[in-house]
């Protein structure tokens, strides 16, 4: 896998593709929120979803780990496959799927528990550790990957809600990483953070790319340009354009993309 990463990004092969979505439609009761979206998300790469608010980018993201199942009126049609397996197959247990596809939310949402327990929660419920020592190891590793270990290693048993906003969000990322997912979905992870915390998180996302396939929804085009390799532009529930980030930002094909990039809509 490592050497595959060295290949040209634009030359996506079948093995490279982690998630393939075909003809996805999402309805909230009678409103269609997503119209016929096809996307291919590659492994070990950051894919950004951009677009004006209400364009369906978050809705689509939540389809990928079936978080939309928790909304009664939401209905998903079409085909989403991870490693070639249909995630809406009746045999799939969403619990197992979500262990494989982690998620970080818009607002940092640490549980009202200690930092340690926050991170250990996922490994515990999935039974990833055989004993306390192994759990400690997992927690440390996750906190290191979340780039927050140095800041919290002396107060692992302090409540997670006592951290600053940026620290909380990195804790949430560490929490998501601790279950060893293969894909990490991030729903506007920096929108509640100040610029310094944002920079830290963005740096972290870039590092995460080495181990995970990352999908990030963002409001900020600059952020998409900074962290992603591939960008999808959503508008009114349609996937308007999807391609290399460089190309989308420098030479978009669709006039709607261009209007958005240049700030005329959105």
Partner 1 sequence: MTDATHGTPLRNKGKSILEVDARTKKRNAAEARFKGYGIAAIGISLFFLVSLLIAIISNGIPAFTQTFVNVEVELLEEKLDKNGNRDIADIKKVSTFGYKPLIENAMVKAAEGIETELSDKDLSKILSASAAAILRDYVIANPDQIGETVEFRLLTSSRVDGYMKGRVVREDLARDKNLDAAHLDLIDVMVERGAVERVFNWDFITGSDASESRPEQAGIGVSMLGSFFMMLVVLVLALPIGVAASIYLEEFAPQNRFTDLIEVNISNLAAVPSIVFGILGLAVFIQFAHLPQSAPIVGGLTLTLMTLPTIVISTRASLKAVPPSIRDAALGVGASKMQAIFHHVLPLAMPGILTGTIIGLAQALGETAPLLLIGMVGYIATNYPEGVTSGFLDPNSAMPAQIYEWAKRADPAFYERAWGGIIVLLVFLLTMNLIAIILRRRFERRW
Partner 2 sequence: MSNVMLVLIVLGLGVIGFVLGRGRAMSAAGGDRRNLHSLPMYYGANVGLNAVVPAMLVLFAWLIVQPMVINSSVSGMIPEAEIAEGSNLSLMMSDVRRVAEGLDLAVGQGAMTEAETRSAGEDLDGLRDNLAGVGVALGSDITDSTFAAAQRYRVLAGTGHLWKTIATITASLIGLAVAYRMTSTTFRARNVVERGILMVLIAAASIAILTTLGIVLSLIFNTVEFFRLYAASDFFFSLSWNPSFSGRGGGSELGILPLLWGTLYISFIALLVAVPIGLFAAIYLSEYASKPVRAFAKPLLELLAGIPTIVYGLFALLTVGPLLVSVFGRDGALGVDWMQGGTAVMTAGLVMGIMLIPFVSSLSDDIINAVPQAMRDGSLGLGATHSETVRQVILPAALPGIVGAILLAASRAIGETMIVVLGAGAAARLSMNPFDAMTTVTAKIVSQLTGDSDFASPEALVAFALGITLFVITLGLNVFALFIVRKYREQYE
Positions in the binding site for partner 2 (CB under 8 A): 65, 67, 70, 72, 95-100, 102-105, 107, 109-113, 121-122, 125-126, 172, 175-176, 179
| Among 73, 71, 68, CA closest to 31 | 73
**Residue 211: what are its φ and ψ, rounded to 5°?**
-110, -25
208 binds partner 1, rule: CB under 8 A: no
Neighbours of 1 (CB within 10 A): 8
Token pair recorded at residue 204: 């972290």
Q: Per-residue string for binding with partner 1, 120-159, x by CB under 8 A?
A: ---x-xxxxxx---x--xx---------------------
Q: How far is the C-alpha of 45 from the C-alpha of 158, rounded, in Å?
A: 34
Which of partner 1, partner 2, none interacts with 121 (beta carbon under 5 to 8 A by kind)?
partner 2
In the bound complex, what is the minimum distance in angstroms from residue 67's beta carbon to partner 2? 6
In the bound complex, what is the minimum distance in angstroms from residue 254's beta carbon to partner 2? 32
Which 86-115 residues touch partner 1, going by CB under 8 A? 87, 89, 91-93, 95-97, 99-100
Span interacting with partner 1, options 84-92, 106-114, 202-210, 258-266, rule CB under 8 A: 84-92
Q: Per-residue string for binding with partner 1, 53-82, x by CB under 8 A?
A: -----------------------------x
Which of partner 2, partner 1, none interacts with 130 (beta carbon under 5 to 8 A by kind)?
partner 1
For partner 2, which is the closer residue by CB, 74 or 199? 74
């Amino acid at each position: 896998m490592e050497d595959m990463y060295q290949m040209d990004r634009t030359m996506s092969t079948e093995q490279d593709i982690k998630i393939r979505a075909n003809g996805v439609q999402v309805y909230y009761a009678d409103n269609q929120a997503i119209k016929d979206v096809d996307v291919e998300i590659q492994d070990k790469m950051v894919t950004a979803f951009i677009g004006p608010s209400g364009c369906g980018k978050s809705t689509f993201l939540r389809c990928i780990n079936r978080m939309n199942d928790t909304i009664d009126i939401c209905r998903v049609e079409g085909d989403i496959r991870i490693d070639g397996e249909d995630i809406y197959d009746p045999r799939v247990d969403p619990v197992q799927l979500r262990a494989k596809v982690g998620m970080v939310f818009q607002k940092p949402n640490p549980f009202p528990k200690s930092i340690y327990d926050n991170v250990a929660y996922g490994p515990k419920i999935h039974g990833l550790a055989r004993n306390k020592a192994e759990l400690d190891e997992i927690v440390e590793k996750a906190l290191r990957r979340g780039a927050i270990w140095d800041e919290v290693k002396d107060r692992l048993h302090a409540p997670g809600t006592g951290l600053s906003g940026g620290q909380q969000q990195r804790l949430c990322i560490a929490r998501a990483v601790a279950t060893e997912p293969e894909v990490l979905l991030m729903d506007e992870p920096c929108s509640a953070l100040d610029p310094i915390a944002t920079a830290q998180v963005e740096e972290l996302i870039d590092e995460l790319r080495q181990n995970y396939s990352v999908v990030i929804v963002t409001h900020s085009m600059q952020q998409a340009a900074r962290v992603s390799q591939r960008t999808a532009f959503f508008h009114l529930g349609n996937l308007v354009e999807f391609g290399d980030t460089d190309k989308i930002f420098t030479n978009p094909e669709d006039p709607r993309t261009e209007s958005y990039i240049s700030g005329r809509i959105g």
